[in-house]
Amino acid sequence: MHLKSLTLRGFKSFATATILRFEPGINCVVGPNGSGKSNVVDALAWVMGEQGAKNLRGGNMADVIFAGTSKRPALGRAEVSLTIDNSDGVLPIDYTEVTISRTLFRSGGSEYAINGTSCRLLDIQELLSDTGMGREMHVIIGQGKLDEVLKAGAEDRRGFIEEAAGVLKHRRRKEKALRKLESMSGSLARIEDLSAELR
């Protein structure tokens, strides 16, 4: 599995559609200060589901949408697509090439898609969760991140190991099931009250 290409449209400084093509092995992005190198990394994190605006170096999520310059008006949406070569079948989906996409509208709505079909954020997170490209983004090591890992407490360190071992997905499912169970118990108690009143 390797990243094949990344397409940015209206994402941060990339107002017009920009396609970066990657080859297997090491790829380098070079450019002068402020030319958008970190924005490319932000786009990668974003399309893989990053939810924290701060992790994308912004105040709120709408900051990823091209904000305009003196020559160009701001845009109403940001869109990023990441194409992954899946010929070795690492991603649990029957396609040799998988494109995940994320769009955010300035009005607030957002969309996710896998190979052009609309999906939920959860579907993208689950698709990537056993590949090392999971939700916690340990695959992206930003400036100062190594320090963070070295200084992490026991709980956070366990999180890193669980993500690497693929346990996190099951923990999330368990938490979701427990929340459902709790809400069902509430409904059950309510039904019991009502039936007691009717008796």
Q: Which residues are near ligand ATP by CB under 6 A? A: 12-13, 31, 33-39, 63, 65-67
For ligand ATP, which residue has the nearest CB? 38
Tell me the HSE value of 95 on the side-chain side, using a 13 A CA sphere: 12
Q: Which residue has the tokens 């360190």?
A: 157
Nearer to ligand ATP, 71 or 199 (CB): 71
Any known ligand binding at 37?
A: yes
Any known ligand binding at 32?
A: yes
State the nearest-atom distance from the C-beta of 169 to ligand ATP, in Å. Answer: 31
Any known ligand binding at 60?
A: no
Nearer to ligand ATP, 39 or 101 (CB): 39
Any known ligand binding at 38?
A: yes
State the nearest-atom distance from the C-beta of 55 to ligand ATP, in Å. Answer: 14
Nearer to ligand ATP, 45 or 168 (CB): 45
State the nearest-atom distance from the C-beta of 153 to ligand ATP, in Å. Answer: 29
Please list, residue by residue across 91-118, b when 16 or more beta carbons sit within 10 angstroms of its beta carbon and e when fewer do: beeeeeebbbbbbbeeeeeeebbbeeee
Nearer to ligand ATP, 33 or 60 (CB): 33
Q: Which of 35, 10, 6, 30 is nearest to 19 (CA)?
A: 6
State the nearest-atom distance from the C-beta of 47 to ligand ATP, in Å. Answer: 16
State the nearest-atom distance from the C-beta of 167 to ligand ATP, in Å. Answer: 33
With beta carbons less than 8 A apart as the criterion, state whether 65 and 75 touch: yes
Provide φ and ψ at 86, rounded to 5°. -120, 30
- How far, in Å, CA of 134 to CA of 126, rounded? 8
Any known ligand binding at 116?
A: no
Nearer to ligand ATP, 68 or 92 (CB): 68
Any known ligand binding at 36?
A: yes
Q: How far is CA 37 from the centre of its chain?
A: 19
- How far, in Å, CA of 117 to CA of 89, rounded? 19
Between strands 18-21 and 2-9, the pairing is antiparallel
Any known ligand binding at 24?
A: no
Name the binding residues for ATP. Answer: 32-39
Indicate the annotated binding residues.
32-39
